[in-house]
Amino acid sequence: MATLRTDPEQSRRAPNLRSVVVGTGSSLPERVVTNAALAEQMDTSDEWIVQRTGIRQRHIAAADETTSVLGMRAAQSALDDAGLTADDIDLVICATSTPDHTFPATATQIQAALGIHQGAAFDLQAVCAGFVFAVTTADKFLTTGAARRALIVGAETFSRLVDWEDRTTCVLFGDGAGAIVLEAQAAEEGRGVLSTSLRSDGRHREKLYVDGGPGSTGTTGHLRMEGRDVFRFAVGQVTDVIVDAFAQAGMTAEDLDWFVPHQANRRIIEASADKIGIARDKIVLTVDRHGNTSAASIPLALDVARRDGRIKPGDLVMIEAIGGGFSWGAALIRW
């Protein structure tokens, strides 16, 4: 298990493997900031934020709670949940747009902090859709036999990327991390990732972007968003990947047990679910407590719903997200 394999024997076994979730974990900064607390600092109100987004509070990282620290805690908790140790993991993917440093990859810092010394570790950048892209990527490694167990982390500190002078964006985001462990298991068991669907369309860059970077300004920059346009695109377009993921698996919204979407805005989530015909009581909502944590939002929500007993083995779960780029995607998972 020390290196990634390209053994043709492994590839021949590929059609019989599925990527099964065997553990989840999460980590949130201790500090909670309510809407009322924000209203003391800027021209906003609890009423506006709740009405427009469903957000009531968010967690904000302390100086020593970097993306890799939050990611490492979430990853350790997912490993513990799975009953596994560092020696069992041969792939680490961290979905993040707020790495501790431009390089090395945050995934390698998480890998080192956990004592994982084999396999590969890399970051994946698809902004809010990062976790869905990371699950899809890991699934390719696991189902081709190139890796056996993947630790997939979504970790973000967007409080460091937003412009705290811009009330139209800064009230929306929070910090946190979530993680899952995916294991290659025999497909005959029926569990695991059943289908995935990814899309990107770079023509929408101006709608949601960061106005800096190492290759342009040499600074980190700040998040900029045309909220109304993103909202329209999210509701109007993103459902195509959900429809595709259902179609690939030969299933429909009726078969679904839990819809675990990216947590950006309650109105976007409910409008998308309505459009697809997913019953409101099948939606896992955490945006009220966490705000928009970008790539961390889905694994955080998965961990909440699994630990409170909603998501159980055998349940059919759809994850879905859209973010900057635009990039968007969905994955259907038999838990």
Site string for ligand UT7, 281-300 (x = CB under 6 A): -----------x--------
The CB-of-44 to ligand UT7 minimum distance in angstroms stands at: 3
Does residue 4 contact residue 55 with C-beta atoms inside 8 Å? no
Q: Smaller CB distance to ligand UT7: residue 148 or 262?
A: 262
Q: Which stretch binds ligand UT7 (CB under 6 A): 86-94, 179-187, 191-199, 264-272?
A: 264-272
Q: Tokens 């009953």 map to which residue?
A: 83
Compute the distance between CA of residue 84 and CA of residue 88 in angstroms, rounded to an integer: 6
Give CA–CA dist 186/201, Å, rounded. 35
Which residue in the list 204, 222, 262, 290 is annotated as catalytic? 262
Stretch of residues binding ligand UT7 (CB under 6 A), selected from 118-126, 142-150, 164-172, 244-252: 164-172
Degrees, nearest 5: CA angle 48-61-104: 125
Site for ligand UT7 in 174-203 (CB under 6 A): none
For residue 274, give both structure tokens.
């309505």
> CA 182 to CA 23: how far, in whole Å?
8
Q: Is 136 exposed, middle or buried (0-12, 13-18, 19+ CB in 10 A)?
A: buried
Q: Among 23, 29, 174, 323, which residue sits at the site for ligand UT7 (rule: CB under 6 A)?
A: 323
Shortest distance (Å) from residue 166 CB to ligand UT7: 9
Over the window 65 to 104, marking each residue x when it contacts ligand UT7 by CB under 6 A and - when it does not, the resulting string is: ----------------------------------------
Residue whose pair of structure tokens reads 């979504």 in the numeric block: 154
Taking the complex as a whole, the smallest distance from the CB of residue 196 to ligand UT7 amounts, in Å, to 20
For residue 262, indicate whether it is catalytic.
yes
292 is catalytic: yes
Question: Please, which residue, 141 or 209, has the CB nearer to ligand UT7?
Answer: 209
Which residue, among 274, 27, 262, 317, has the nearest Cα to 133 in the 3D structure?
262
Q: Among residues 170, 222, 265, 292, which one is catalytic?
A: 292
Alpha-carbon span 268 to 311, nearest angstrom:
22
Which residue type occupies 105?
A: A
Q: Using an 8 Å Cβ cutoff, are 121 and 155 in contact?
A: no
Distance CA(180)–CA(158), nearest Å, equals 21
**Interface residues for ligand UT7 in 16-55 (CB under 6 A)?**
44, 48, 52-53
Which residues of the shown chain bind ligand UT7 in the complex (CB under 6 A)? 44, 48, 52-53, 128, 167-168, 171, 227-228, 230-231, 234, 264-265, 268, 292, 323
Give the residue numbers annotated as catalytic, written as ranges.
128, 262, 292
